[in-house]
Amino acid sequence: MLKTKLSAIAVLASSLFIAQSALAEKADTKFIDDSSYAVGVLMGKNIEGIVESQKEIFTYNQDKIIAGVKDTIKKSGKLTDEDLQKQLKALDNYLVAQETKIQAEKSKETVSAGDKFRAEYAKQSDVKKTESGLLYKIEKAGEGESPKATDTVKVHYKGTLPDGTVFDSSYDRGEPIEFQLNQLIPAWIEAIPMLKKGGKMEIVLPPELGYGDRQAGKIPANSTLKFEIELLDFKN
C-alpha cells in the first residue's frame, strides 16, 4: 500500500532529475530554478497526499521527510535498500493495525447508536416487529395482490441512517426504480410483500437484515437503517 506509493514517487523523482540534468546545459538559470521548484512541488503534492490520507492514524515528522528527500538527492541516504524495505514494511503493518482498531471502534459506536434508535422507534404504538427483528409500520396498504419474491417491483424509496443522514433516495432523483425482489437485502424481501400496489410503509432494520458488517457506499458497516418504501407496481 504505502510502499507502492513511495516507490512511485521515487521513480518519478529520479526520471525528472535525469531529464533536468540533460537540459541543464541549454537552459538559463531562471528556467532551471523554476523547473527545479516545480519538481519539488510535484513531489510535495504526492507526499502531501500520503500524509493527508493517513492523518487519522499516523502523524509524520515533516522535517524528517524533507531530510530524507534531501539526503536521497545528495546520494547521502542513511538507509540501505534492505533497511528501507524493512522500515516501510513495519510502517505498513502499523498502519493496517491502527486502521483496523479505528474501524472496530467506529463499528461499536455505530452498533450502539443503531440499538438505541431501534429501541426508541419500537415504542411507537403503530410499529410492529417481526421474528427477524424487522420493525415496520404500514402507512397505506394499497389494493389488489401483493408481489412475490420472484417478481420485479417498481418502487419509490428513501433510506436514512439513525442520525437522519439520507444515503439514497429515488424521490431526490425524481424517478422510481425497478428491482427483482429476491435480489434485495433481507429486510426488503420480507417487508415489500406486506404491501399491495400503491401501498406505502416505513421500516427500520438491524444490520443483519441490511448490509451486515460490510460498508456499502455511504452506509457504514453494522448500520441500522430506516427506509420509506412506496410500492408503485410489480410484474412477474
Query: For residue 136, what is the domain's CATH number?
Result: 3.10.50.40
Mean per-residue pLDDT over the chain, rounded:
91
Cα 95 to Cα 6: distance, rounded to the nearest angstrom: 15
With respect to residue 107, please indicate whether it lies within any of the assigned structural domains. no
Evaluate whether residue 138 is within a structural domain: yes
pTM above 0.85, yes or no: no
Query: Residue 202: inside a domain, yes or no?
Result: yes
**Domain-located, residue 24:** no
Number of compact structural domains in the chain: 1
Is pLDDT at 70 greater than 70 in this prediction? yes
pLDDT (tens digit per residue) in 157-216: 999 999 999 999 999 999 999 999 999 999 999 999 999 999 999 999 999 999 999 999
CA nearest to 215, candidates 148, 154, 137, 161: 161
- Residue 17 falls within a domain, yes or no? no
Q: Name 1's bridge partners.
A: none
Residue 208 in any domain: the answer is yes
Q: Which residues are catalytic?
A: 157, 167-168, 185, 211, 227
In-domain check, residue 169: yes
| Domain residue limits at 229 | 128-235
